[in-house]
């Protein structure tokens, strides 16, 4: 199956999961507190397991080289993303944050995994780790303009950072993990896609769809996040030699919609939390059309 076909099938599956989240919330089978608990489960346990497992592969010269290249490209794409968001949306902090950082962990990762398999997580792990680090630091500064809000200790305790560090140590040390632990990690990692989309479904259920449709600003930010930044990222990835096509395809994580963390940080820093949730929901819905388009473009130029 083509990359675009695989992405479309994955998007459809994720839509069903999201629909389940909407139904469960509206039938009060999941409350606001329950959706928050599920989000914490994803952030502090499931996603770190996914990241850690991606590094549980044999240490080879090729893998080391690919890891270094993927980290370098991740840093480049994120810097470009932040620059574009700042240039176009600097006046509105929430818009700036939302456009700069994609939902690479909850939505981008399942798409990359569908296209490249479990190996794809290895290529995108650096992107997710750096994205979370920048959200905890630069992202909070955008919203608050207060350096006191940025805690070095909190950054170091970030579960994504810890799992990435532990994974790199495992990879460099070339320590084999027991089969029982590998099976456990695999089973937990399998929860990432359904749980993340169910959580997004609960967010969508808390927002009036009519308000989203009428809010023109949401379309502007979503276009920057889903079309402009991915297109610029694609142009940069074209500079990679053809032998790194798998790393280039992992850029689909950079084409993911607005990350749900913008709502979390907006609420924590006394910003417009409701608007942040609308941004997440609007860009997630629009991504069902935009991500397959970007995958088709990627397939044409990267393969």
pLDDT digits (tens, 9 = 90+) for 142-163: 888 776 666 667 677 778 888 8
**Residue 145 structure tokens:** 């303009």
Alpha-carbon gap, residue 266 to 11, rounded angstroms? 27
Alpha-carbon gap, residue 289 to 287, rounded angstroms? 5
Q: For the chain, how many helices (H) and strands (E)?
A: 18, 0
Alpha-carbon gap, residue 206 to 32, rounded angstroms? 9
pLDDT at 151: 66
> Considering the entire predicted model, what is its pTM?
0.84
Quick check: 29 pLDDT over 90? Answer: yes
Average pLDDT for residues 177-181, to the nearest whole number? 87
pLDDT at 93: 92
pLDDT at 148: 64
CA angle (94 as vertex; 89, 100 as ends), nearest 5 = 60
Q: Identify whether the C-beta of residue 201 lies closer than 8 Å to the C-beta of residue 25.
A: yes
**102 has which bridge partners?**
258
**Lowest-confidence pick of 56-60, 152-156, 253-257, 279-283:** 152-156
Q: Which tens digits make up the pLDDT trace of 195-242?
A: 888 888 888 888 877 777 778 889 999 999 999 999 999 999 888 887
Alpha-carbon gap, residue 114 to 110, rounded angstroms? 6
Q: Which tens digits make up the pLDDT trace of 242-261?
A: 767 777 777 788 889 998 78
pLDDT at 224: 96
């Amino acid at each position: 199956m083509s990359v675009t076909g695989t992405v479309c099938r994955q998007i459809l599956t994720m839509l069903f999961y999201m629909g389940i989240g909407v139904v469960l919330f509206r039938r009060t089978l999941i409350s606001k507190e329950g959706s928050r608990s599920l989000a914490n489960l994803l952030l502090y346990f499931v996603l770190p397991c996914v990241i850690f497992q991606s590094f549980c592969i044999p240490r080879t010269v090729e893998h080391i080289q690919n890891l270094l290249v993927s980290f370098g490209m991740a840093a480049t794409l994120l810097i470009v993303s932040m620059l574009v968001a700042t240039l176009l949306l600097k006046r509105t902090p929430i818009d700036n944050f939302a456009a700069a950082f994609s939902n690479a962990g909850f939505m981008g990762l399942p798409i990359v995994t569908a296209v490249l398999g479990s190996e794809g997580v290895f290529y995108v792990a650096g992107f997710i780790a750096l994205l979370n680090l920048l959200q905890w630091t630069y992202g909070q500064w955008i919203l608050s303009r207060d350096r006191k809000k940025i805690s070095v200790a909190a950054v170091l305790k970030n579960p994504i950072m810890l799992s990435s560090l532990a994974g790199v140590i495992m990879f460099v040390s070339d320590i084999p993990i027991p089969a029982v632990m590998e099976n456990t990690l695999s089973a937990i990692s399998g929860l990432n896609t359904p749980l993340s989309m169910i959580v997004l479904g609960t967010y969508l259920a808390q927002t009036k769809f009519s308000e989203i449709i009428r809010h023109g600003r949401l379309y502007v930010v979503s276009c920057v996040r889903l079309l402009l930044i991915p297109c610029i990222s694609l142009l940069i990835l074209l500079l990679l030699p053809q032998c790194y096509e798998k790393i280039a395809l992992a850029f689909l994580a950079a084409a993911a919609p607005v990350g749900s963390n913008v709502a979390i940080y907006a609420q924590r820093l006394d910003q417009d939390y409701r608007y942040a949730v609308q941004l997440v929901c609007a860009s997630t819905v629009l991504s069902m059309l935009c991500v397959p388009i970007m995958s088709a473009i990627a397939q044409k130029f990267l393969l």
